Amino acid sequence: MPDALKWDTRLTVMMNGSPVTPIDSFNPTFNVPVQPLHSLEADNVAHIVQPQAFTFTMAVKAIGTVVATLTGLALSSSGFSIGVQQAKGSDWTFKSVAFNDCYITSVASTIVIDGVPTTTFNCICLQAVPA
């Protein structure tokens, strides 16, 4: 059996170009709504493109001051970015990922009896640039 994949690179919360914490799970949602436009003569004669939205949920381990730092960002409405932190190798599909102008909209913690607690952050992103 071949060796399991070694994930040496991770998505990371970045503040001013410096890593804050790696992300354990990242669940993005892209929304690009299009509404059909009808007339008296015919259906679907055109369409209206509404503003796009990019939201995501990320979970981080609640170790040290990481959750306090991110909660402070949420309370002060401060922006952050998501970047790829590469230790070695090239495990990711993208060469780089630029999620800029991200803001935390809500925070929820999960306490477990055994293991490390995690905190889930719901966020919005105003600029997503894959490369």
Per-residue pLDDT of 39-58, as tens digits, reads 888 898 999 998 888 999 99
Cβ atoms of 81 and 73 within 8 Å: the answer is no
Mean pLDDT to the nearest integer, 65-82? 91
Candidates 5, 27, 22; CA nearest to 86 is: 22
Q: Among residues of the chain, what percentage have pLDDT more than 70?
A: 82
* Residue range 9-37+45-130 in CATH 2.60.120.260: no
**Sequence spans of domains, the chain:** 9-37+45-130
Q: Which of 29-38, 68-77, 89-98, 99-108 has the lowest mean pLDDT?
A: 89-98
Q: Is the pTM of this model over 0.85?
A: no
